[in-house]
Every structure is written in structure tokens, then in C-alpha cells.
Structure 1
Amino acid sequence: MAHDEVVERYSGLARAAMLGRVILDCGAEEFERGCFGTAGYDDATGLPEGALRASLGCGDPVAVAELRAGEGVLDLGSGGGIDVLLSARRVGPSGKVYGLDASLDMLELARANAAEAGATNVEFLHGTIEAVPLPDYAVDAVISNCVINLSDDKPAVLAETFRVLRPGGRFGVSDVVTDGPVDPVRRAAAERRVGCVAGALTIDAYRDLLRGAGFIGISIRPTADHGDGVHSAIIQAHKPAIGPGLEIRPMREADADQVLAIYQAGLDTGQASFETLAPSWEGFTASRPPNLRYVAVDTETGLVVGWIAASPVSARPAYAGVVEHSVYVHPGCQAHGIGRALLAAFIAGSEDAGIWTIQSGIFPENAASLSLHQALGFRVVGTRERIARHHGTWRDVLMLERRSTAVGR
């Protein structure tokens, strides 16, 4: 469905709600069978009737976003404001909740509902979920209720979501997904029954888009079955956590010079690798999958202060879930927890990608790297004695592995 069609459809529903009409009449039993509406909420008591009438969601994202007092929250496609008002209760007067909608009619309805509820910690914004009118690192959580599937540019939606979240921020969404590819006839049948289906992604495609945007800790749990391979689902993920003034995000081509400079600085120490010269960017990217490359950046300057990336250990299918990795931190930024944060994010991201074993080769003299890896679950599995020359000297390499407790069991 085109953007203008979506806006007009939901504007019409908002106008109907403002006239006192019930858009959906869905009880608990009907909700379990795939009907949308307020029956999916744990506690909607005390909310304005206008917010309840305009509820078109397929779940309760507020319940899964783990909202806490004082936090900032963004609701993508906030409609009549039900999830904004529920979030406002959770975050309290010291928090702030933003509702974003492309429909001016929905915004009018939502503002009226907020005024009736006496909610003073909310703000409704006009705009699209593909271009969020908020600055970077503005909120602690992003929620949405059966809206993202309507977008015709979901990568942009998730990139914007990642951008406005603070490090460690959470993504808690109810949306519609499919088990696998759904032919047009079955998709149209599901659309006629419940709506909000035309742009639904498969579970695997949704997961891949979240990974591509930089999210980790991804969970997609189908709930109500709408038939024809279509489900409501609870979708959770988070932005990697790191210390103040820093962000972990996917590596970009624009980072090339800084990444390679940090690489070279590490090689120059003589304790990072047998290599003595960093490769070209083309050589670097050729052997490292794009969705397992992260950088840590200074949020004020945008400068890269560290990076981590993986390489497959073998092209043989049996080893598809085994990678080796490298992690490098700018020499002026070491001992600040950056390497640990990068490695923790990488571990979570690799498990989201189905990786069951991460390997690393470390010189025995590199005590800091050994300590870091062992603190995050790596163990020494052996020593490759005098495996190669480095600056004219034969050197040993300790082989470390981390076996996932979540993948490959």
C-alpha cells in the first residue's frame, strides 16, 4: 500500500473515531483468533474512550519494552495515542513520550485524548517513520503497534529507529509477520480479514533488517495466528551498550580510512598479528561479512575509536557457524572499556546471525587481549607453537574459542 493511501485510510478511521464510532469491536477470544484492538492490552483501564475506539494494534508493545521511570520513549505510528498514554504512565512525570504519525487527523485525535487524560509528559509529532523528526540519541525505547509493516522503506525505518535510540536503548514492537513467502492470493485473503498484512515481512527477513540496522539481542515471537501463514508477533531487540559519549553501530564505507588507520596502529605494536601492513579497504571487506562488522564512535566528533569484524574460517558448509574475529581500539582510547563493549556487541550479533563458535588467535604476550576474551567466555583450547615468523622471530599463538550457549545446541 502506498504511503498516501495509508495516510488517507487511517485519517478516515481517525475521523470516524472522533465522531464516536467504534472502529474495531474485538473481544479477548476474537483477539486470540487474530482480531486487532484493545483486547491485547494488559491494562487499558482509565484511558479516554477516544483512545480505545481508535486502537488498531495487534499487541501490547508497552508491556514488552520494559519501560522505566524517567525514560524517553518514541511510538512510531502513534494513531489515537493509546500506546503513548500507556507509556506515559510507565515513565512518569520525569519521563517523556513522543508519538509520531503522518496523519493530521490522527494527531488531532491523539492530542484531544492526551488532554482528556491529563497527560503532560507527552508530545505528538507530525512526520513519517522513515524520517523521524528527533535528534540522535533522543530516547531510551522505541515502540510501535502494527505500523512498521505498512512502510514501503523498512530499512529506513529501522535505521532511523537505531539513530534516535541511546546506546543500550530498546526496540519493543508488535507487528505482523509471515512464516515464509506468502503468495498474493493468500496474502490478499489475510489482508481482507485483518488488514495491515500487505507489507508484512517474513520472520527471517525482519531479523536480517534489524541486524543490518545494527540491532542485537533480536527476538521475534509469533503470537496470534491470522491464518494463511500470517501472525502477529512481539519483536524485541536493543542497540549495543557502551560508555557515555560513545556509540556502537555497523561499519560503513565512510569509516574506511579510520578503520584501516586503527588497524595499522595495532599492527605497529607488534602484538596484534603476524601482519605488518593493513590491507586495502577492498581486501578488508572481501573477507569479512558486512553484518558482522561494527565500529565504536565518539558521538560528539563522529570519529571511530575502535572496530571489530569477523571472517569465516572455512568455505565448507559444515563450518558455516564458525568465524574468527579481530578487535582493535585506537591507541589513545584504550583502557576505557571500548574493546569489551565491542566484543560483547559482536558476540550478541553473531548469535543473532546463527554463529555457534567464535575463534581468535592471540600472541601469549598480549595479556590485555587474553584477559578481555577470557572475561567474555573465551577459553584457550591450545597453542600453535612457533607457527610463523614475525619480524624474524618464530612465535607461538594461543587459540581461543567461545562456544555459544544459545546457538547450535
Structure 2
Amino acid sequence: MSENVEAVRAGVVTRYGELARAAQAGKQVIDCGSQELTGGCFGAAGYDDTTGLPDGALRASLGCGNPVAVADLQPGETVLDLGSGGGIDVLLSARRVGPTGKVYGLDATPEMIELARANAVEAGATNVEFLHGHIEDIPLPDAGVDVVISNCVINLSADKPRVLAEAFRVLKPGGRLGVSDVIADDGLQSTERAEAERLVGCTAGTLTEAEYRALLAEAGFTAYTITRTHSATGGLHSAIVRASTAAAPSGVTIRPMRESDAAQVLAIYQAGLDGGNASFETTAPDWQAFDAAKLPLHRHVAVDTAAGQVVGWIAVSAVSSRCVYAGVVEHSVYVHHGHAGRGIGLALLNALIQSTETEGIWTIQSGIFPENTASLRLHEKAGFRVVGTRHRIGRHHGRWRDVVFIERRSAVAGL
């Protein structure tokens, strides 16, 4: 952990400890100027209905929106609130998930934890638990949470990539992220941006929409949207960030491909080529060539969580450098032969469809040997159509082979 991150953490804990004590003393607390508070819809003003919530939770509300309203919480789900403060979003979430659900609130400030626990007791909420810790190091196991929410807290971290990576880690496959946060316009002068961040209370800086999207993709989220809700001040905006992880079969997680996966990825690749019906290629490339050919945002691996083993991968390449084809890619998908029949191939295809559509890619295409009937059926399930057959297009192991050309045209991207 860098000294800067530790210093920012210490400053946040000190500041919010003061605010928690003020709320406990019956004061209304804010962390920005009054104009920014109302204009940006900060604090309790961001909620439509706070009926029945303890006054202490309302007084300590320091958010910039209402993530609970957009998180689509369902009865029985497990929810984690990053930076839960006085507990307002935890209590609202607890109502939605009901007695069969569970809501965790995580906060680094002991005084806020104390305040939130008192508010939960007053509200009669028995399906909540408040944890003391940092949002960069979430004290929960992997893949145990259905939904992660947060209200104007990620901007307070000096290590935002780590926060989003941790959120991805604790989410189940198919899990959701619903965050209210403050974002900055592109092109702001550094001095203007810093002053606006100071006025709004974003002491560790804000992200632009493009920066936020890049970090979500890097963390492993395959679908994400950012919607501005209110203007705050000086080119800053409160916004809702929605994201989701790829759904996967039981015991499997889909995440971004890493360089450390190279040996396993290439071994699965070579095993597929050795089967004789995967590609005209006969030898998998080295990692340097593979890495150079594949687009970085759309390469995913399926990992068996029990063994920690890569059991499948999917990736795409650009079909042309011409701008007219910017939204067209060619994909490859391979599954370890020992894990066939688990639904891994379809999960990888669906993850690819999500990540490509999120980034505006409108067509995924590929060629498949007609003898590879399993692959043709798999792609049909994922919404691909057969365009036609190219007869005797190339020689493979001394004989001419036909190739069935397939594509999937997005119904949402490139319209």
C-alpha cells in the first residue's frame, strides 16, 4: 500500500469521524458547500422516500444519489454497501431484500460504524451487519455477494482500480454493481478540476466517464453504463454507474485474461488445434504474438474456482484497420477438453457479447469447419447465424476444407 493511499485513508477516517460525532450530537452534517449540496442532489435530498428511517441515518447521509433505487434489489439477495456511513443505504436495502436477504455495510471510520449500528437497532433491522474495514480490501470472501452498492465513496479512494477490482472479486457470477458517484467532464483544467473537487468534498479526486469505463473493464465487468443525474459544480456531475459481471456455470468464474494465464490459455489452444477441427492453424502462437493480435477489452477466461485452473477462453481480433469496420471483430473460443458439457463455451460467448456491445461493436464473426457440429450448435444458441459456406477455401493436413461463415449482428450496438 503506497504512502499516498495510507495518507488519504487517514484523512478520510479523521474527517468522517468528525462528521459522525456531529450526527450523533443531533447536527445535520454535510461535506460540501450548501449550493453544491442542493444542486448536486447530495445528502438525504437524493432519496425519494425516507419514511421510517432514523433521524440519525438521515442526518449522516453524505451521498450524491440513491444507488438503492437503481440496483434492482430482489428478496433474498446479499448486498454490500461500500462506505456505508450512517447506514441509510444499508437500511433501505434491507427493506428490499427482506428477511431472507442480508446487507453488509463496510466503513473505515469506527464512529460511523457505531452510528450505523445504533441506527439499525432503532430501525429494527435484523438482516444487516456492519463491518470495519477499507473498500480497497473488502473483508468478505470471493463470489459471495449478489449486489455491490456505494454512495459517493469511491471518489474518496486514492486507489480506485483496487476498489473496483475488489467489488468484482466479491460479486457472484452475474452479480451487479450500482453506484452513485461524482464524475468530471473531459478537458477540465487541473486547477479548475481540483477546486471543484474541493468544493464537493472529493478529496481524492474524481474520474471522467471514460476513465471510469476503462477501470470497470479492467476489473472484469463485461457490461457497464454511466448516466449523469445532476450537475454539481465546475464541470462535476453526480452520476449512476451500473455494471455487471458475466454469468457462469456453477463453480466457474469468468474474468479478464491475464499474462499470467498465458501457459494455460495456449495449452488449451494447442489441444483444440490437435483435435483437427478447430482451425486451419496447427500450432498455437507464442504469447507475444497472441497478445498483439487480440483486442484488450474482449479477452476473457473461464476459471474453475475450486482448482484455480483456466478451463476456457475467448478473444477477438479486428478484421480490418479501416474505420468502416471498427465495429466488426473475429472471435475464437476454446474450452478445455476435460470440462466440456459444463456450459462454459456458451458462458464465454455471452460474456464476449456483453463486453463487445458495451463498447459499441456491432458484429462478431468467425469461420467454422462444417464437421465441427458442436461449435455450430453452440453458436446458434448464442444468436449467431450462418451466412454461407466457403467451399474448398484452404488446405489443412493435406486436404481441402470448407468453412461455414457465421456472424452475430447486435440488436443494440451500432444502430
**TM-score (normalizing by structure 2):** 0.94
| Alignment match, 1:206 | 212
Residue from 294, 305, 316 that aligns with 2:311: 305
Which stretch of the first structure deviates more once superposed, 363-372 or 155-164? 363-372
Q: Secondary structure at the match of 1:358?
A: strand
Cα distance between partner residues in 1 of 2:293 and 2:38: 47
Q: Secondary structure at the match of 2:232?
A: strand
| Alignment match, 1:383 | 389
CA contact (8 A) 2:30 2:37 kept: no
| Alignment match, 2:253 | 247
After superposition, what is the alpha-carbon deviation per residue over 1:347-367, rounded to whole angstroms, capped at 9, x for unaligned?
110112221211111111111
Cα distance between partner residues in 2 of 1:217 and 1:372: 22
How far is 1:32 from its partner?
6.5
| Alignment match, 1:159 | 165
The one-letter amino acid of 1:305's match is V
- Going from structure 1 to structure 2, the CA distance change for 1:25 and 1:260 (only over 3 Å counts) comes to closer
Q: Secondary structure at the match of 1:271?
A: coil
Aligned positions of 1:230-379 closer than 5 A:
230-379=236-385
Structure 1 unaligned segments of length 5 or more: list them.
Answer: none
| Alignment match, 1:145 | 151
How far is 1:20 from its partner?
0.7
| Alignment match, 2:229 | 223
Cα distance between partner residues in 2 of 1:149 and 1:227: 15
| Alignment match, 1:2 | 8
CA contact (8 A) 2:142 2:169 kept: yes
| Alignment match, 1:17 | 23
CA contact (8 A) 1:167 1:248 kept: yes
CA contact (8 A) 2:157 2:204 kept: no
Cα distance between partner residues in 2 of 1:358 and 1:192: 45
Aligned positions of 1:387-406 closer than 5 A:
387-406=393-412
The one-letter amino acid of 2:344's match is I
What percent of counterpart residues are identical? Answer: 67
How far is 1:30 from its partner?
8.2
CA contact (8 A) 1:76 1:144 kept: yes
- Going from structure 1 to structure 2, the CA distance change for 1:289 and 1:222 (only over 3 Å counts) comes to same
Cα distance between partner residues in 2 of 1:25 and 1:75: 19
CA contact (8 A) 2:171 2:245 kept: yes
Query: Does residue 112 of the first structure (1) align with residue 112 of the second (2)?
Result: no
After superposition, what is the alpha-carbon deviation per residue over 1:241-290, rounded to whole angstroms, capped at 9, x for unaligned?
01111111111122222111111111111110011111112221121122
Aligned positions of 1:76-115 closer than 5 A:
76-115=82-121
How far is 1:198 from its partner?
5.1
Cα distance between partner residues in 1 of 2:19 and 2:30: 10
After superposition, what is the alpha-carbon deviation per residue over 1:279-328, rounded to whole angstroms, capped at 9, x for unaligned?
11222112112221111111111111111011111223332222111001
The one-letter amino acid of 1:382's match is G
How far is 1:408 from its partner?
1.5
Which stretch of the first structure deviates more once superposed, 353-362 or 190-199? 190-199
How far is 1:197 from its partner?
6.7
CA contact (8 A) 1:187 1:198 kept: no
How many equivalent residue pairs? 407
CA contact (8 A) 2:360 2:413 kept: yes
The one-letter amino acid of 1:406's match is V
Q: Secondary structure at the match of 2:238?
A: strand
Cα distance between partner residues in 2 of 1:181 and 1:197: 19
Q: Secondary structure at the match of 1:2?
A: helix
Structure 2 unaligned segments of length 5 or more: list them.
Answer: 1-6
| Alignment match, 1:191 | 197
How far is 1:25 from its partner?
11
| Alignment match, 1:407 | 413
The one-letter amino acid of 1:342's match is L
Cα distance between partner residues in 2 of 1:182 and 1:301: 47
Cα distance between partner residues in 2 of 1:181 and 1:5: 28
After superposition, what is the alpha-carbon deviation per residue over 1:180-225, rounded to whole angstroms, capped at 9, x for unaligned?
1322332244235432275211111101111111112211110011
RMSD of aligned residue pairs (Cα, Å)? 1.8
Cα distance between partner residues in 2 of 1:162 and 1:129: 12
CA contact (8 A) 2:36 2:200 kept: no
Residue from 61, 68, 77 that aligns with 2:74: 68
CA contact (8 A) 2:70 2:178 kept: yes
Which stretch of the first structure deviates more once superposed, 208-217 or 316-325? 316-325
Query: Does residue 43 of the first structure (1) align with residue 49 of the second (2)?
Result: yes
Cα distance between partner residues in 2 of 1:45 and 1:184: 41
CA contact (8 A) 1:25 1:37 kept: no
Q: Secondary structure at the match of 1:167?
A: strand
